[in-house]
Copies of this chain bind each other. A is one copy, B any other.
Amino acid sequence: GVDKKILVIPGDGIGQEVTAWGQKVLMTIAENYKHNFSFDEGIMGHVAIEATGNPLPDETLEKARKSDAILFGAIGHAKYDNDPTLKVRPEQGLLKIRKELGLYANLRPIKLFDELLEASSIKPEILSGADILFFRELTGDVYFGEKKRTEDRNTASDLMIYHRYEVERIARKAYEAARSRRKKLCSVDKANVLEASRLWREVVQEVAKEYPDVETEHMFIDNAAMQLIKDPKRFDVVLTGNLFGDILTDEASQIAGSMGMLASASVGDSTGFYEPIHGSAHDIAGKGIANPLASILSAALMLDISFGLKTESLRVIKAVETTLKQGYRTMDIANKHTENHLVMGTEAMGAKVLENLS
């Protein structure tokens, strides 16, 4: 067995409800496979602002640095969304931890469980067989460029900026992944308008030369947003910047049936950071109806990517699959037209997966 330190940060909204299930899955795996996972907890986001005034308290950051991997929930709160003038904001915590831990590569695998073929708004024949791995750059772009507001508050700006090395390192990671998949990489930018995108395209073209066995395609973001729905099967690995990646991966959730199914891994120099793609979802927070599967699948990604525990990771994915096969569904993935679905809340769904893990 292996020894690993895991930091759990439930964060805001439904993060508080679903993250416990990712953790329980990790605990069950540790037990079943004789690993030694020790857990600590940290606060971040709106809950951290309420407790300390800081969306990412130093204590959390310190714990994060000392851990082998982090299981994160979600961030954000309606209060800040409704008041754009607030200076201290939950999301700053997430952006800061990404930057501080050097988590520059955000991997978002989009794959539909066969059982959910009917849960999507997209036609089954369009979806069936779609399997996309997004590489979203996570520590650059307009997210981290300088932000300005004039004194009269009438002009606001953010700098969209990329450096060669930032594009290079994530491009390499994406090409390596493409090599072990279907050997197709699509790089998404807006090089017909943006200078940062032209640099992006130049660098990807260069890196591409080191991977002649991988077929490279360059696509504009507007076209990609369209093609993703029109013909998701045309994509294998998709490589893109921070902002475009944010948009495309949320959109791609419709390929996986629901946002509630999507996990992501943020990796860089050391500690890996695992989180569902769904946000804090104020509208359903506290109701006990959130889908815990994205958190559970985030745990599976952690086992695979940070700990190299492939068998254990597949075991978790299998348990999720079995649960879906048995007809259990949370609200977001329930199909109104299928009678034999048992719709349940977060707790019941999480418990079913645990059962299927044993």
Contacts and interface: CB of A to CB of B under 8 A. Distances in A.
Contact of A156 (B198, B218, B243): B198
Contact of A161 (B91, B156, B223, B254): B156
A200 B158 CA distance: 13
Interface of A, secondary structure class, is helix
Contact of A198 (B85, B193, B223, B279): B85
A123 B336 CA distance: 14
A308 to B, nearest CB: 31
Interface string A50-94: 000000000000000000000000001000111011000111000
A327 interface: no
B162 A156 contact: yes
Nearest to A332: B230
A247 B197 CA distance: 15
Select the residue from A157, A159, A163, A246 with max chain B CB neighbours within 10 A: A157
Which size class do A's interface residues fall under? 35 or more
Contacts of A192: 76, 80-81, 89-91
Interface stretch (A146-154, A293-301, A318-326): A146-154
A225 B251 contact: yes
A20 interface: no
Instruction: Name which of A85, A200, A243, A247 has the most chain B CB atoms within 10 A of its CB.
Output: A247
A287 interface: no
Contacts of A161: 155-157
Interface string A187-198: 000111111111
B199 A156 contact: yes
A49 interface: no
A121 B231 contact: yes
Contacts of A163: 154-155
8 contacts: A84-B198, A84-B205, A156-B199, A157-B195, A190-B243, A190-B246, A228-B251, A229-B251
Contact of A226 (B82, B223, B259): B259
A81 B217 CA distance: 11
A250 B222 contact: yes
A84 B158 contact: no
A142 interface: yes
Given A147-B194, A158-B195, A226-B254, 17 more contacts: A81-B191, A121-B123, A123-B123, A142-B142, A156-B162, A156-B196, A156-B200, A157-B159, A157-B162, A157-B195, A190-B246, A222-B246, A223-B279, A225-B248, A225-B251, A226-B250, A244-B247
